A = this chain, B = another copy of it.
Amino acid sequence: MTAQRIHNFNAGPAALPLSVLEKIQASFLNFNGSGMSITEISHRSSYFDAVINDAKDRAKDLLKLDETYNVLFVQGGASLQFAMIPMNFLGNEESADYINTGTWATKAIKEAQIQEKSIRVTASSEDKNFSYIPENIQCSPDARYVHITSNNTIKGTQFADFPDTGKVPLVADMSSDIFSRPLPMEKFGLIYAGAQKNLGPSGTCMVIIRKDFMETANKNLPSMLSYATYAQKNSMYNTPPCFGIYTIGLVLKWIQKTFGTLEEMAAFNRKKAGFLYEVIDRSDFYQATAQKKSRSLMNVTFRLPTEELEKQFVADALKKGLGGLKGHRSVGGCRASIYNAATMESLHALTEFMTSFEKENA
């Protein structure tokens, strides 16, 4: 069965570490001696308390979080966060800054505007089809927060460093690069990440929130739309997405056991992306779509000379067991998503394929 697995370059849901999947599979009918599947145990049991606290502790350990931060698990993905953030933090007289670096940032802006919240797009790379990350960003000193999308899955760009926002907290959608590198946590008021790229299955969103920032939130919200509810109830006000949280814990444990620290994780990711960009850069056949300084280490986007060749590239790759290389339906082209779990073996298989495809078709 394992032998038939493909090299999975999907943008999300994405490849998970094989050892994690094998662990889930092995215990699927009987979790931790409970006589029940992880999908059947009560979230009010000591079994699940251990699961959720373990996942939180590992997240805190990897990001070196102290007790000024809460780690929460929320449903609804990053898309619900787009709405919850302005709902929680923008009162009538308040405003936030947004940096627009692509499709997901645009959607975050839209969800604030639907609620008639006051926001300002303080920087944007829309002028060049979102192919770069804006620099020298000037934020409003009285903004409630500055919202960024740290990695842009569709356009293949990533903030290499984070903007200096002074005392204004950064709020970041890190759905596609959380736990891929260490973070200067002192800059952030809130980080959120849908699990399905770097963390686990879809359906669980991790939210890391600074407690003093959280305490400034609107208090008159429906329970499930208030961060305080999750913080007060250890993310178990209602039944949490147990299977997702369990998998996230296993993935974080895998990072700890395999790489030790996020510095090492980042080194591995730089190395993997380096192989791919090297193949692209030494060729006239492949063209990277993101500007060099803004390139993502998670999503490598590139074009071939023609759309026909791109189609053939994706199809031929799949025949060789390399899946998920089609670019996002909104932009076309090709994309290799190489999150934490992408193996060096997969990277070698891809660069070999790219080299031979170029030879045959250039």
A45 nearest CB across to chain B (Å): 8
B5-A223 in contact (CB<8A): no
A222-B39 in contact (CB<8A): no
A29 nearest CB across to chain B (Å): 5
Interface presence of A80 (CB below 8 A): yes
B203-A44 in contact (CB<8A): no
A36 nearest CB across to chain B (Å): 5
A223-B114 in contact (CB<8A): yes
Which residues in window 82-96 of A have CB below 8 A to B?
82-83, 87
Interface string of A240-258 (1 = CB under 8 A from B): 1111100100000000000
B44-A79 in contact (CB<8A): no
Q: Counting chain B CB atoms within 10 Å of each CB, which of A40, A224, A244 scores highest?
A: A40
A228 nearest CB across to chain B (Å): 13
Q: How far, in whole Å, are A83 and B15 apart by their CA atoms in the complex?
A: 34
Q: How large is the interface on A (under 10, 10 to 19, 20 to 34, 35 or more residues)?
A: 35 or more
B-chain residues with CB within 8 Å of residue A21 when the two chains form the complex: 28-29, 37, 39-40
Task: Give the residue name and chain of the B residue nearest to A12 (CB).
Answer: B239
B39-A83 in contact (CB<8A): no
Interface presence of A185 (CB below 8 A): no
Q: A201-B243, A329-B44 are in contact. Are A111 and B79 (CB under 8 A)?
A: no
A224-B79 in contact (CB<8A): yes
B79-A223 in contact (CB<8A): yes
Task: Give the residue name and chain of the B residue nearest to A243 (CB).
Answer: B201
A357 nearest CB across to chain B (Å): 20
B-chain residues with CB within 8 Å of residue A194 when the two chains form the complex: 238-239
A76-B76 in contact (CB<8A): yes
- Which one of B30, B43, B321 lies within 8 Å of A5 (CB-CB)? B30
B-chain residues with CB within 8 Å of residue A203 when the two chains form the complex: 75, 203-204, 239-244
A129 nearest CB across to chain B (Å): 22
Interface presence of A10 (CB below 8 A): yes
A52 nearest CB across to chain B (Å): 12
The 3 closest A-B pairs by CB, nearest first: A203-B241, A6-B35, A83-B222
- Give the interface of A toward B (CB within 8 A): 1-2, 4-6, 8, 10-16, 18, 21-22, 24-25, 28-30, 33-37, 39-44, 75-80, 82-83, 87, 110-111, 114-115, 194, 196, 200-204, 220-225, 237-244, 247, 321, 323-324, 329
Given contacts A8-B35, A25-B28, A39-B202, 12 further A-B contacts (CB under 8 A): A2-B29, A5-B29, A5-B36, A13-B41, A16-B37, A21-B29, A36-B323, A75-B203, A111-B222, A115-B222, A202-B243, A203-B242
